[in-house]
Amino acid sequence: MCVSGTPNGDHDHHGHHHHREETSGLARSRRSFLKGSAAGVAGIGLAAAPLGPALAASSGKGRRVLDLTHRLTRTFPSFLGPQAVFDEVLFTIEDDGFYTKQWTFDEHIGTHIDTPGHFSPGMTLVDALDPETLIAPIAVVDIERKAKDDPNATVDPEDLMAYERRNGRIPRGALVCMNSGWDAKVGDGAAFRGGSGFPDLNFPGFSGDATDWLVSKRDIVGIGVDTMSLDPGNSADFAVHVGFLGTGRYGVENLANLDAIPSKGALGFVGPVPWEEGSGSPCKVLAMVRGRGRR
């Protein structure tokens, strides 16, 4: 974990005043440059144009892009407990001419990807993921009813077969996502964790039998969950993390808005940060859907 800060969640500012003195010259230089070049930048229409409308237009008539990503906040629920994200404003527009923050957090926070190398030594890490696997058809398996009765409910092979009876065969190369309705709890850390923090956790996930079935019978690229772990919260052996990721596939945790996309037919995009030898990364996850998007 790369979390920093005092036990009560306050930031540790030791050394930052010295840092600002060292960089004050840089700030003045950049402020002068920014002021001198502002007019030129403002005149470049394409550089300032938002990409969203262009992407929507290129996706074809009757299609739209939906965000499956939670906003990463300082209080986002952590697997180990509260307050795992820390930030500090380094420069302000008022004082320095530009705005910059410094963040400190674990690779596995917010909506994020787990790589094969997260639990298995020598396996693929985030900077070596095959980009072709990061754009994939999404299959959404709904277990909301099970999750209401059992906080540690799992996606089982029976759920996958029931999904296929309603929606057809899960395509090869798919990203199979569990919708348990758990993302609605994200504003309450204790409720989202289902406890105080590892090992006191209770939330839905995939079963090892289900991921074995998906690997052997459907050859998918990854799985996704709307909870903070691929395994259910009460797992003691992390069978899915070890077994599924160990096959060279990836997982995405803390997805949002899975109930807003169809059970089948959406095209997903997973965008992790390819930092050097990272075991995972917060990422942007988008879904391109036809029509209104709801099932």
**Annotation marks residue 118 as catalytic:** yes
- The C-alpha atoms of residue 62 and residue 206 are separated, in whole angstroms, by 33
Helix (H), strand (E) counts: the chain? 9, 12
Beta strands in the chain (DSSP E): 63-67, 86-91, 100-104, 112-114, 135-142, 154-155, 175-179, 205-206, 222-225, 250-253, 266-272, 280-290
- The C-alpha atoms of residue 112 and residue 251 are separated, in whole angstroms, by 8
Query: What is the helix (H) or strand (E) element at residue 101, kind and residue range?
Result: strand 100-104
- The C-alpha atoms of residue 103 and residue 256 are separated, in whole angstroms, by 22
Which is the catalytic residue, given 70, 108, 118, 241?
Answer: 118
- The C-alpha atoms of residue 150 and residue 169 are separated, in whole angstroms, by 27
The residues that are catalytic are 118
